[in-house]
């Protein structure tokens, strides 16, 4: 707030970049936790590939119990996070009325970065794999497999 006051309300992108990066990293961590709680295909595939057919009913019940807990935690955590963020932004914009434009600009830039990040994350392993296969370079291919898992 003080920096906005010193800059006389002008938007200073250079000063905002670290905060935008921090918010992107924090949202990435929260996104990873939410994905873990909401996605269940790995558990289902593991059940399908299990060798022991005699314990299938018991494994299915155990998986259903585990998924019910995961989905319950997902909905509770999502509701709490959305409620907290809504309350925080409402209070912030109510108190600091003159900084709402700055908040919208920072949010827009952070949102654009969150849209571009997966694009780059998917593009890099693909390019490395194409060149690794084209030039028969085993190291590039292995780096693309590593980059895919990050």
**Model confidence pLDDT, tens digit, residues 11-41:** 677 877 888 788 778 887 888 888 888 888 8
Give the pLDDT of residue 84.
93
Q: Could you tell me the pTM of the whole model?
A: 0.62
Delimit the domains of the chain by residue range: 2-121
Give the pLDDT of residue 65.
93
Distances (CA, A) of 136 to 112, 122, 131, 144: 36, 21, 8, 13
pLDDT tens-digit profile of 77-89? 889 989 998 999 8
Residues 6 or more apart whose CB falls under 8 angstroms from that of 140 comprise 128, 129, 131, 132
**98 pLDDT exceeds 70?**
yes
Give the pLDDT of residue 43.
83
Give the pLDDT of residue 25.
83
Choice among 57-71, 87-101, 108-122, 130-144 with the minimum mean pLDDT:
108-122
């Amino acid at each position: 707030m003080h920096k906005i006051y010193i800059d006389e309300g002008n938007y200073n992108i250079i000063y905002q970049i670290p905060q935008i990066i921090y918010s992107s990293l924090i949202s990435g961590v929260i996104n990873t936790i939410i994905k873990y709680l909401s996605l269940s295909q790995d558990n289902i595939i593991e059940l399908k590939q299990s060798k022991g057919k005699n314990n299938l009913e018991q494994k299915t019940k155990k998986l259903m119990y585990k998924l019910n807990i995961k989905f319950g935690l997902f909905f509770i955590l999502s509701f709490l996070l959305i409620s907290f963020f809504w309350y925080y932004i409402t209070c912030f914009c109510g108190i600091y009325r003159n900084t709402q434009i700055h908040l919208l600009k920072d949010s827009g830039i952070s949102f654009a970065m969150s849209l571009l990040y997966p694009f780059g994350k998917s593009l890099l392993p693909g390019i490395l794999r194409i060149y690794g296969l084209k030039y028969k370079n085993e190291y590039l291919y292995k780096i693309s497999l590593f980059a895919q898992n990050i």
